[in-house]
Chain A
Amino acid sequence: MLIKVEHLSHAHDGRPALHGVGFTAQEGERLVLLGCNGSGKSTLLKIIDGLIPPDAGVVTYDDRPVDRAALADRPWRLRFRREVVLLFQDPAAMLFHPTVAEEVAFGPRQLGLDEPEARAVAWIERAGLAALRDRSPHALSRGEQQKVALASLLVLEPRLLLLDEPTASLDPRSTGWLVDLLQDLETTTVVATHSLSLAPELGSRCLVLGEDHTLLHDGPVPRPDADMDLLRRANLVHRHRHDHDGHVHRHDHVHDWE
């Protein structure tokens, strides 16, 4: 088992963000984390990445709890940072180098992989970012920033990839590029999204966080035709008003489902 999350609860300044969340993931599994705005997706990913210590509960990575002691253990921490990476919801937060090339080479250099520059060049090519190589990451569009941030994580060839709404700023072609890229990887992934239509492409198993910050569902990706009840409880559907020939009627509607 690669990750085990048990009874996780957390509040930001007294405002609840997660409540009693638990699940496990095997090596190689692809999980989608679905939930409405404010349900706690980003918080959960940051806790798994060891960035926020939870108020209660434990995250275990590769049989060792990700706690203060583990993170203080230098060799383990180095391994953890090399193997577990997080794409932030706001990719700009991750970019702090003068050029894209240096940005991508940072992780491998910092975490002691050999030939960081060569790895960076290879991943910049693979991610189709060659034209942006010498540009400043901060002058790029949000979608471009997202790709650069992703390349600077994939270059580490991580074992666990945590992605916080990776398609939020991508156009359809770039979204396709990302989906293909993820499907080619063997890496264990947890992808947060509120796009129901994209969820089946991002993973085979789905965790749904509710508005009350609890885990509502752990299983197959919900379908609007069969799982309306769950989707309604998770606040992922919208009550829609229609006007047909003078008759106004309302029904539930999943907005991004094509």
Chain B
Amino acid sequence: MKDRVLLLAALVGLGLLSSIHAPRTLGLALAAVLILSGRDAPVLLKRAACAVLLFSGAVSIVHAAVVLRSGGDPLPWLVSTNLRVLTMTSLTLLVARRVDLVQAAGCSRPLQFVVVLALAQIAVLRRLVRDFALALRSRGVDRPGLQTAVRYGGAVGAALLLKADHDATTVTQAMTSRGFFNDADQG
């Protein structure tokens, strides 16, 4: 029950955040999320910043270039957008830490299956990423050069995509084989 309420509150929060534009309000919201995270705040903020850097970094650069060229001031948009994404990401990470998603989805069996499957996929992919890192380490590359790093990043990305695709097929076959699409009491 507690997990479901928390999840619902977070979803409402995310909805509100997506409609706020004032940097000051967004700053307050971020502070609120960080206060709620307590001791986890620094880790959470670091992870959120990394994620944001990856996804909205490129968008920000392109946007700034376009606005600058047309003689405008890109700063207000950049601040409010990046702050908003940062706050939303922190909130999502906080929820992922505090809410037991399996419990929160307990109201419906199919939903719970989907959540467990998604978490399982995340666990498997995370394991794969870690194995990749370990394999790289075991091959004695302490500080990979740029070329190695780029190649490695590409290989990890490609492997993840292939594995996610292959797993989705195999998992569906496994579920079919075990009668998932075969409820005895229906029909």
Residues of A within 8 A of B (CB): 46, 49, 51-52, 74, 77-78, 81-82, 85-86, 88, 90, 92-98, 106-107, 110-112, 138-139, 152-153
Please determine whether A85 and B177 come into contact, CB atoms closer than 8 angstroms: yes
- Contact A77 B173, CB 8 Å, known A92-B124, A98-B102: no
- Contact A82 B116, CB 8 Å, known A93-B167, A111-B184: no
| B175 interfacial by beta-carbon distance below 8 Å | yes
Chain B's closest residue to A78 (CB) is B182
Complex CA–CA separation, A191 to B76 (angstroms) = 65
Pair count A-B, CB < 8 A: 67
Listed by A's residue number, 7 A-B pairs whose Cβ atoms lie within 8 Å are A78-B184, A81-B177, A88-B170, A93-B170, A98-B112, A106-B178, A107-B178
Chain A's closest residue to B185 (CB) is A112
Complex CA–CA separation, A94 to B173 (angstroms) = 9
Please determine whether A110 and B184 come into contact, CB atoms closer than 8 angstroms: yes
| CB neighbors of A among B153-181 (8 A) | 167, 170-171, 173-180
| B67 interfacial by beta-carbon distance below 8 Å | no
CB-defined contacts of A85 to chain B, threshold 8 Å: 177-178
Please determine whether B179 and A82 come into contact, CB atoms closer than 8 angstroms: yes
CB of A165 to closest CB in B, whole Å: 14
Pick the contact of A110 from B117, B170, B173, B183 — CB < 8 Å? Answer: B183
Chain B: residues with Cβ within 8 Å of the partner, total of 25
CB-defined contacts of B102 to chain A, threshold 8 Å: 98
Pick the contact of A51 from B112, B113, B177, B184 — CB < 8 Å? Answer: B177
| B120 interfacial by beta-carbon distance below 8 Å | yes
CB-defined contacts of B117 to chain A, threshold 8 Å: 96
Chain B's closest residue to A97 (CB) is B116
Complex CA–CA separation, A64 to B119 (angstroms) = 39
Please determine whether B182 and A88 come into contact, CB atoms closer than 8 angstroms: no
Complex CA–CA separation, A81 to B182 (angstroms) = 8
Please determine whether A46 and B184 come into contact, CB atoms closer than 8 angstroms: no
Please determine whether B174 and A94 come into contact, CB atoms closer than 8 angstroms: yes
CB of A36 to closest CB in B, whole Å: 21
Please determine whether B184 and A95 come into contact, CB atoms closer than 8 angstroms: no
CB-defined contacts of A110 to chain B, threshold 8 Å: 178-180, 182-184
CB of A92 to closest CB in B, whole Å: 6
Pick the contact of A111 from B120, B170, B171, B179 — CB < 8 Å? Answer: B179
Chain B's closest residue to A112 (CB) is B184
CB-defined contacts of A82 to chain B, threshold 8 Å: 179
CB of A51 to closest CB in B, whole Å: 5
CB of B128 to closest CB in A, whole Å: 11
CB-defined contacts of A49 to chain B, threshold 8 Å: 177
Please determine whether A46 and B179 come into contact, CB atoms closer than 8 angstroms: no
Pick the contact of A81 from B112, B113, B171, B178 — CB < 8 Å? Answer: B178
Please determine whether A88 and B174 come into contact, CB atoms closer than 8 angstroms: yes
| B145 interfacial by beta-carbon distance below 8 Å | no
Pick the contact of B174 from A74, A81, A93 — CB < 8 Å? Answer: A93
CB-defined contacts of B116 to chain A, threshold 8 Å: 96-98
| B187 interfacial by beta-carbon distance below 8 Å | yes
Pick the contact of B179 from A51, A88, A96, A107 — CB < 8 Å? Answer: A107
CB-defined contacts of A52 to chain B, threshold 8 Å: 173
Pick the contact of B175 from A77, A92, A96, A139 — CB < 8 Å? Answer: A96
Please determine whether B171 and A93 come into contact, CB atoms closer than 8 angstroms: yes
| B65 interfacial by beta-carbon distance below 8 Å | no
CB-defined contacts of B124 to chain A, threshold 8 Å: 92, 138
CB-defined contacts of B176 to chain A, threshold 8 Å: 51
| B123 interfacial by beta-carbon distance below 8 Å | yes
Chain B's closest residue to A153 (CB) is B178
Chain B's closest residue to A81 (CB) is B179
CB of A87 to closest CB in B, whole Å: 9
Complex CA–CA separation, A96 to B113 (angstroms) = 7
Please determine whether B180 and A46 come into contact, CB atoms closer than 8 angstroms: no
Complex CA–CA separation, A139 to B126 (angstroms) = 12
CB of B57 to closest CB in A, whole Å: 32
CB-defined contacts of A98 to chain B, threshold 8 Å: 102, 112, 116
